[in-house]
Amino acid sequence: MTGSVSTAGRTQGRVLIIAGSDSGGGAGIQGDIKTVTALGGYAMTAITALTAQNTLGVASVYGIPPDFIAEQIRVTVSDLGVDCIKIGMLHSAEVIDAVADTIEAECPGVPLVLDPVMVAKGGASLLAPEAITTFKRRLPVLATIMTPNVPEAEVLTGLKIVDADAAEHAATMLPTLGASAVLLKGGHMPGDVVEDLLVDASGLRRLRHARIETEHTHGTGCTLASAIATGLAQGLDLDRSVDRAIAYVWRAIETAPKLGRGHGPLNHAHTVRPFTGKDD
């Protein structure tokens, strides 16, 4: 894994982020905006929920009315346009239906990265159990790529993922839900090397990188999905978008600022040259 991420020549790309807010700033809308900006894209948002949370966990969730979520999407896209959509936390079946209906009406054919956010890093549920069926029915069919971690893949497939063979089986099953490609993230599996599995029409690709032993991994899933979305918005193909996103997240973990008393945030700004106010 390299320690630098090139963003040269990639300063365009409008990414609409449909996700919840993280008051601690490490994940959700806040982490997404930082990621898109650090990779040279332009971030827009439709906020689906407000959370009161920090590195220790989620204290409470306040849902945004589905009609207002849909309006955020409509007014943003109608004026600014969109090159890629990233979907994160959608906490209820009603919100899922509203988002899916609006995307189908307003953004047909726009590349879409689906991060199936179900459980927070500290264990709090972020998707109502009764909404899982609606999620599986409405959203994967819209996705250019879906990016579940192992626990999320277990929920989506009904499989228990206990080893590399089970992970590969789940990865090859997940596209049957409708997504054009799936990136099954291997961070929850044991070992010194993390193996992510990318499955698309061309087959299965194994992406291996060294594990960084740290507690400061809050927002890695949101960050990875938004980084992929930025690449797609900027015209990179799927393989290059995924490769750059993994490199970006790896470096963000390696240089994490070590804030908070729990699962700390990443260093989203590691690509950004500090502004001094002088002509450098």
- Pick the catalytic residue: 219, 230, 231, 264? 219
53/63 Cα distance (integer angstroms): 14
For the four alpha carbons of 95, 167, 227 and 124, in that order, the dihedral sign comes to: positive
CB 218 within 8 A of CB 266: yes
Active site residue 235: no
- Pick the catalytic residue: 121, 222, 230, 264? 222
Active site residue 160: no
Q: What is the dihedral of CA 268, 271, 276, 280, to 10 degrees?
A: -170
- Pick the catalytic residue: 51, 134, 144, 220? 220
- Pick the catalytic residue: 221, 231, 264, 271? 221
- Pick the catalytic residue: 48, 102, 217, 223? 217
Active site residue 219: yes
143/28 Cα distance (integer angstroms): 19
- Give me the DSSP letters along 39-102: TT-EEEEEEEEEEEEETTEEEEEEEPPHHHHHHHHHHHHHHH--SEEEE----SHHHHHHHHHH
Q: Could you tell me how far CA 60 lies from the centroid of its own chain?
A: 21
Residue ranges with strand state E in the chain: 14-22, 42-54, 57-63, 84-87, 112-114, 145-146, 182-184, 193-200, 203-210
Active site residue 31: no
Count of all residues that appear for the chain in the document: 280
Active site residue 136: no
Active site residue 122: no
- Pick the catalytic residue: 185, 223, 230, 264? 185
- Could you list the active site residues? 185, 217, 219-222
